[in-house]
Amino acid sequence: MEEYDLIIIGGGPAGLTAGIYAGRQGMKTVILEMMTGAGSGYMVPSMENYPGFDEISGKELLEKMRKQVEKHIPVNNMEEVKEIETNDPSGILLTTSKGEYKTKSLIISTGSRHRRLKVPGEIEYIGRGVCYCATCDGPLYPGKDVIVVGGGNAAVQEAIYLKGLGCNVTIIHRRDQLRAEKYLQKKLEENEIPVIWDSVVEKINGNMVVDSVTLFNRKTEEKTELPLHGIFIAVGEEPLSKVASEAGVEVDNVGYIQTDKYQRTNIPGIYAAGDITGGIKQWVVACAEGAVAALSAFEDVMG
């Protein structure tokens, strides 16, 4: 069983930043990432609020960060953590899809996954018209009618990206105004992307593939059927904290890991950073939390 000073679960912006700091501090560290790309962050088509870049995609920024971190420590792709054991006095034990590890400290930066609508037809048509990633699936729909469900930054970014691919895009939002940042709302107007307000998707219809959705207007209580070829769901995310909570790490009623201002959890030696902690979900915040977590681990472990 290989032993480490620090293991980081998750290779998103928080985990990679933590890795850079830990590696430069001389801690024996490894990052365990369950995917080949760093989750939902890899799918962000464009950002204009990350310091140092006028505009950059999530994929491009993560690749730059990963190249930097790999100068100091390894990143293991496709290695999912199955269990965390904290009752061994010699260290924290991890069981993964590829083996076992022992570590003096652990940073959990597992992030979150796309939240589902939980409506009839959603699961049935995943990959056949139901999508959660415009960057991944958008190139299948140029010239076709698609909707984006949601009203936050992610939904508006996806709609703008899809319009740029040549899709006929409409946003469906359950309220009468968007939550997205003003600069994104301005871009939405510039791209002449229509919004259907006060409406929710009640059902996804199709025959082998999606061909329409049933919409319910929350104000008029009217139902309408909207023909389309694809539906992109961007209604927020839910934390990937199951393994952590099973190990006794404290989470809130939604599942976000609770930490102090130094990213320490209720279990000594275990820290959390990034979207998994809830709060403001911005890349720059995730990176800051990753840095704080790594420095806290260094102080606690190396003294």
pLDDT digits (tens, 9 = 90+) for 103-157: 999 999 999 888 999 999 999 999 899 999 888 889 999 999 999 999 999 999 9
pTM, two decimals, is: 0.81
Given pLDDT bands bounded at 50, 70 and 90, which one contains residue 39? low
Contact 15/273 with Cβ under 8 angstroms?
A: yes
* pLDDT for the residue 40: 67
CA–CA distance, 133 with 138 (Å, rounded to integer): 7
Has 137 been annotated as catalytic? yes
The structure tokens listed for 232 are: 């992109």
CA–CA distance, 206 with 229 (Å, rounded to integer): 9
* pLDDT for the residue 44: 77
Has 133 been annotated as catalytic? yes
pLDDT digits (tens, 9 = 90+) for 159-187: 999 999 999 999 999 999 999 999 999 99
CA–CA distance, 269 with 106 (Å, rounded to integer): 6
The structure tokens listed for 19 are: 């890795």
Contact 191/160 with Cβ under 8 angstroms?
A: yes
CA–CA distance, 179 with 181 (Å, rounded to integer): 7
CA–CA distance, 267 with 97 (Å, rounded to integer): 24
pLDDT, greater one: 55 or 29:
29
Q: Is 136 helix (H, G, I), strand (E, B) or coil?
A: helix
The structure tokens listed for 176 are: 């009468």
**Per-domain residue ranges for the chain?**
2-113+237-302, 116-233
Q: 2-113+237-302 with 116-233: one CATH topology?
A: yes
* pLDDT for the residue 37: 58
Q: At what angle do helices 58-69 and 13-24 cross, to 10 degrees?
A: 20
Has 131 been annotated as catalytic? no
Given pLDDT bands bounded at 50, 70 and 90, which one contains residue 303? confident
Look up tokens 């082998």; give the residue. 208
Given pLDDT bands bounded at 50, 70 and 90, which one contains residue 300? very high
User: Smallest Cα–Cα separation from 271: which of 26, 92, 98?
Assistant: 92
- C-alpha triplet 60, 178, 232: angle, nearest 5°: 55
pLDDT digits (tens, 9 = 90+) for 196-239: 999 999 999 999 999 999 999 999 999 999 999 999 999 988 99
User: Smallest Cα–Cα separation from 22: which of 32, 13, 34, 31?
Assistant: 31
Q: Give every CB contact of residue 255 below 8 A, 6+ residues apart in sequence.
A: 238, 239, 241, 242, 245
User: Smallest Cα–Cα separation from 79: which of 101, 112, 102?
Assistant: 101
136, 176, 252, 260: the catalytic one is 136
- The CATH class of 116-233 is alpha beta
Above 70 in pLDDT, residue 38? no
5, 137, 167, 275: the catalytic one is 137
133, 145, 198, 300: the catalytic one is 133
Q: What percent of the chain has pLDDT over 90?
A: 87
CATH architecture designation of domain 2-113+237-302:
3-Layer(bba) Sandwich (3.50)
Look up tokens 């009618």; give the residue. 145
CA–CA distance, 59 with 108 (Å, rounded to integer): 21
- Average pLDDT over all residues of the chain: 95
